[in-house]
C-alpha cells in the first residue's frame, strides 16, 4: 500500500491488481470487490486527508475474505491510519 496526503477532508482509495496476481480477469475482479467491501467498512475509522493505492500481491487471491480483512486491517493499523481495531 502506498499513500500520500491529499489536502482534502476525505480519504480516497484505489486498487491496483495486475495480471501477475491472477491471469483471469474474473479472479482479479473478485479480489477488487472484496477489497472494496473491506475498505467500505474501514473508511469511517481511517484518518481523513489521504490518497491510498492498494497493490495486491501474488497469492492474495487464495485468501478467504476474513483472512484478507485481517491482513488489510493489520496493515492499516501498522501504517497508523487507523487506531486499534
pLDDT in tens, 17-68: 999 999 999 999 999 999 999 999 998 888 889 999 999 999 999 999 999 9
Residue 79 has pLDDT above 90, yes or no: no
**How do the domains of the chain map onto residue ranges?**
1-46
All residues at 6 or more sequence positions from 3 whose CB lies less than 8 Å from its CB, including other chains? 50, 51, 52, 53, 79, 81
Q: In what helix (H) or strand (E) does residue 66 lie, and over which residues does it extend?
A: helix 65-79
pTM over 0.95: no
Amino acid at each position: 500500500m502506498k499513500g500520500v496526503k491529499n489536502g482534502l477532508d476525505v480519504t480516497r482509495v484505489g486498487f491496483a491488481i495486475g495480471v501477475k496476481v491472477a491471469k483471469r480477469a474474473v479472479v482479479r475482479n473478485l479480489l477488487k470487490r472484496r477489497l472494496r467491501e473491506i475498505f467500505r467498512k474501514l473508511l469511517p475509522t481511517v484518518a481523513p486527508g489521504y490518497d491510498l493505492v492498494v497493490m495486491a500481491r501474488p497469492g492474495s487471491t487464495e485468501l478467504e475474505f476474513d483472512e484478507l480483512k485481517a491482513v488489510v486491517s493489520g496493515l492499516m493499523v501498522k501504517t497508523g491510519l487507523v487506531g486499534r481495531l
